Amino acid sequence: MPQIVPVSDFRADVKSVAQYTDAGEVVVLTQNGRPRWAMVDYDEWNASAREQERMIARSILETEAREAKGELHALSADEWRARRAQRRGEQ
């Protein structure tokens, strides 16, 4: 569960808020009572960003491989609309 901290408290005592991110927690800074920013440990954020990039690259490679095998079929706008309408009708 993230720590909720008003930005005024953060400004007053950065070190006490930073202890949460040092412990691996997410800190949500609020402004006027509403969530505005999220703070995380830089190393955690960087690792997460790298993993996300790897997942995207893997997905692209898988899609390209399926396309090369002829397993993918690009839909025209009309085909896409028809399938979408069909799905909505089934719900």
pTM of the model: 0.62
Mean pLDDT across 14-37 = 92
Task: Give residue 72's pLDDT.
Answer: 87
Region 3-40: CATH code: 3.40.1620.10
User: In sequence order, what are the residues at sequence separation of 6 or more whose Cβ sits closer than 8 angstroms to the Cβ of residue 24?
Assistant: 41, 44
Task: Give residue 91's pLDDT.
Answer: 65
DSSP state, residue 2: P
Parse the chain into domains and list their residue ranges: 3-40, 44-90
Confidence band of 89 (pLDDT split at 50, 70, 90): confident
Q: Please write the tens of the pLDDT for every residue from 31-78.
A: 999 999 999 999 999 999 999 999 999 999 999 999 999 998 888 999
